[in-house]
Amino acid sequence: MAEADPGVLEGLELDTADAGRKARRNKLLSIIGIAVLAALLIYGAWYFLVGSRTISTDNAYVGADTASVTPMVSGQVIEVAVADTQVVRKGDVLVRLDDSEARIALAQAEADLAKARRQFGQAAATSSALAAQVQARSAEEGRARAQLSAAQAEFAKASVDLERRRKLAPGGAVSGDELSSATSAYAAARANLDLARAGISQAGAIRNAASGELAANNALISGTTAVSSPDVLAAQARLDLARLNLERTVVRAPIAGVITRRSVQTGQRVGSGAPLMLIVPVEQVYVDANFKEAQLRRLKIGQPVTLTSDLYGSGVEFHGKVVGMSGGTGSSFALIPAQNATGNWIKVVQRLPVRVALDPRELRARPLRVGLSMEAVIDVSAQ
């Protein structure tokens, strides 16, 4: 049997190897095509079921409405009861100020109130005394009128006697002495009458003056009591203010949270309104998520949000809802807003802050801190 040509055998082996490589390549391409097709189908299914229903961003940060602690009164700090990073509850003592001046002011206000009440009592007693004086002046005026009547009668009698004697004097029936006596009696009666009339005027003036004093004093106390008197109320208001200022020498936490940026030290004198520290309410934080403008087409208030934080990792989810959108983009409120009126303008995609409120129960279990980054996914299919 003839031996095979080695060249032919080598060619057959090469053809067989090429066929094997082509078969493997075709199989690999088929696998790749199937994988790509499967990936497209999976992506299509994911986009149809999930991707088209949600929008997401990793440009989101934790924020909070912090409380600035400031004293309502000025004074020297005698105690600072908290430190940075300390957790406090609402009403906890933060700072104590020297209350010596406030206690003195309170004592002065208490004395002023007691004085006002005593003055009201004196005014009420004065009214009673003035009423008695008015009655006495009225009695004096009545006596003056009686004296006037008597003086009028004496004057009438003296006038008649003088007239009768004047008529008898020419015939010698009345002596000159009698006529002189009658004339003197007439003059005396006339003087007494004028004096009685003046007495009535004086008594009336005195009674009117007493009545005026009584009316003026009654105007001060009419319709009021020792509690409702204006002077007493003003003194009570000053006392309440003094007590409030004394209470304000103890600075308390207005909200619960974590102490931050404490700047006050013991012995320092602080003025009213000077910032002492900040309190961050870690159980009331929110998230500002910055979404691209093209993502906001279907965004609505109240849609649910799922968030994750680098602090706890992707395995821990926070839940919340959209509560609002900012009135403008971040660049529009910048200190120096961008000017796009130039010829080389390039469009830059803008982002709008979206406010997300978080579940308080989740925040109590896993507190967040202001400034932490978050990833937010909003279900825009929810209405």
Answer for the pair 285, 362: CB distance below 8 angstroms, yes or no.
no
The Cα 291–Cα 294 span in angstroms is: 8
Q: How far apart are CA 122 and CA 214, in angstroms?
A: 13
Cβ-based neighbours of 113, under 8 Å, separated by 6 or more? 232, 235, 236, 238, 239
- Distance separating alpha carbons of residues 282 and 89, to the nearest angstrom: 11
- For residue 122, what pLDDT is reported? 73
Closest CA to 94 of 114, 127, 71, 115: 71
pLDDT value of residue 1: 44
DSSP string across 324-340: EE-SS-TGGGSSS----
Which distant-in-sequence residues (6+ apart) come within 8 Å of 283 by Cβ? 256, 257, 360, 363, 364, 367
Q: Identify which of 360, 376, 370 has the alpha carbon closest to the alpha carbon of residue 317.
A: 376
pTM of the model: 0.62
**Does 102-244 match 67-99+250-280 at the fold level?**
no
CA dist., res. 256 & res. 277, Å (int): 13
According to DSSP, the β-strands at 313-325 and 351-358 are: antiparallel
**CATH fold label, 102-244:** Helix Hairpins (1.10.287)
Q: Which fold has domain 67-99+250-280?
A: OB fold (Dihydrolipoamide Acetyltransferase, E2P) (2.40.50)
33 alpha-carbon distance from chain centroid: 70
What DSSP letter does each residue of 340-354 carry, written as one string?
A: --STT------EEEE
Q: Phi and psi dihedrals of 308, rounded to 5?
A: -130, 155
Q: What are the residue boundaries of the structural domains of the chain, listed by start?
A: 67-99+250-280, 102-244
Query: Within a 10 A sphere around the Cβ of 352, how many other Cβ atoms?
Result: 19
- The pLDDT tens digits along the chain (383 residues) read 445 456 555 665 656 767 777 777 777 778 888 888 888 777 676 566 555 688 889 999 999 999 999 999 999 999 999 999 999 999 999 999 999 999 999 999 999 998 888 877 776 666 666 677 767 667 776 777 777 777 777 777 777 776 776 666 666 666 666 667 767 777 777 887 777 777 777 777 777 776 766 666 665 666 666 676 788 889 999 999 999 999 999 999 999 999 999 999 999 999 999 999 999 998 889 999 999 988 888 889 999 999 999 999 989 999 999 999 888 876 676 666 666 666 666 777 888 899 999 999 999 889 999 999 999 999 888 66
